[in-house]
Structure 1
């Protein structure tokens, strides 16, 4: 986005949204630790004082940014549930497709959760707790979908699919695997088939 277009867009946003927009851009591009409050304020075209009126600390801003990112992922589960209310298998494949389609962006910026976990070693950090709670909720929802799809071992199937989705993101980020999106979809489909097959047929 050119500077004039960005200035026009930023000018239309309320201060809090401008700050979050700037934080998302800088945290994703440079990392949490490397970005200071002044840089965020400058990018948001506001002041540190204004930033602190909306977010008491940088940690509070990090937490709110990740809360928004988590809500976007949760919205995917919700949308697929509405689109395929009685088709848990279609919902699982829809989740996999969402991750696969997002891999090109991951290759440039990395997964915000993976990147943030690496920078937040303290498990008591509010943002770290938010990520862990979000991931646990995703696992519960995926396990429920596997159960509703009639898979023989929903816990195991959900764990395998989670490994695939998250592993594909890491592999894309470090450039170690080509055609990761296509391979991700094939492997998830294979997991579903294997856990759908009668025990004697595996």
Structure 2
């Protein structure tokens, strides 16, 4: 299964635009956003600098396109992992199984949205907004999974925080076990809320 840390082709109405996005995605994720100049991107994409600027008028516009690309990969792959599970509870825990596989990949460099926010948010409000939108979308997704399983939205928020913390800690420390530790913490939270719900029934 393709992980978020690996490039994956999505169909595009403009093949050249997609080639540039995928080249930028690989370079930015591996090396950082600031470290990659337009000339390096031109070489990786196999286009002239003039053609590159025709498709994307600025580096910021490329970064935003890459973040859109990564958001769709994340959403598609999380949804696919969740859909493989039969029960609502297992669908919640599937998030951490997905993360465990991603963390073990050689290309794992953490969350690209956190990386982009850390490097560029102070100078690009558009990048900051894109990163915030991605995190809000994941939060809403976890809340929905939680309520579908009969739990509270707040539990969905707590499970989202576990997943986010695991991503950051694994990226900084290189410890891929953070996903499974987050999964065990998630199981504890699920059990505690289920117990509380059972006790509240007259």
- Which category describes the TM-score, using the shorter chain as reference length? 0.7 to 0.9
**Structure 1 segment 144-159 matched on structure 2, within 5 A:** 144-151=144-151, 154-159=152-157
**Structure 1 segment 72-87 matched on structure 2, within 5 A:** 72-80=73-81, 82-83=83-84, 87=87
Distance between the aligned counterparts of 2:169 and 2:46, measured in 1?
36
Offset at 1:134? Answer: 1.8
Stretches of structure 1 that go unaligned for 5 or more consecutive residues are 1-12
Offset at 1:70? Answer: 0.5
Distance between the aligned counterparts of 2:198 and 2:33, measured in 1?
50
Q: Deviations over 1:129-151 (max 9, x none)?
A: 12211211211121121112112
Aligned twin of 1:58: 59
Q: 1:197 aligns with which of 191, 195, 198?
A: 195
Moved over 6 A (4+): none
Q: Is the 8 A contact 1:70 1:134 kept in 2?
A: yes
Offset at 1:108? Answer: 4.3
Q: Describe the SS at the equivalent of 1:105.
A: coil
Stretches of structure 2 that go unaligned for 5 or more consecutive residues are 1-13
Q: Describe the SS at the equivalent of 2:105.
A: helix
Offset at 1:155? Answer: 2.9
Aligned twin of 2:137: 137
Pairing 1:20–2:18 present = no
Q: Is the 8 A contact 1:139 1:158 kept in 2?
A: yes
Q: Deviations over 1:168-188 (max 9, x none)?
A: 111111217562232122112
Aligned twin of 2:103: 103
Q: Is the 8 A contact 1:96 1:165 kept in 2?
A: yes
The alignment of Structure 1 onto Structure 2 pairs a total of residues equal to 187
Distance between the aligned counterparts of 2:88 and 2:192, measured in 1?
16
Q: Is the 8 A contact 2:104 2:176 kept in 1?
A: no
Moved more, 56-65 or 133-142: 133-142
Distance between the aligned counterparts of 2:111 and 2:76, measured in 1?
17
Q: Describe the SS at the equivalent of 2:171.
A: helix
Aligned twin of 2:89: 89
Distance between the aligned counterparts of 1:125 and 1:148, measured in 2?
34
Q: Describe the SS at the equivalent of 1:110.
A: coil
> Which protein is richer in helix relative to its size?
1
Pairing 1:42–2:43 present = yes
Q: Deviations over 1:51-79 (max 9, x none)?
A: 11211211110001010100111113433
C-alpha RMSD over aligned residues = 2.7
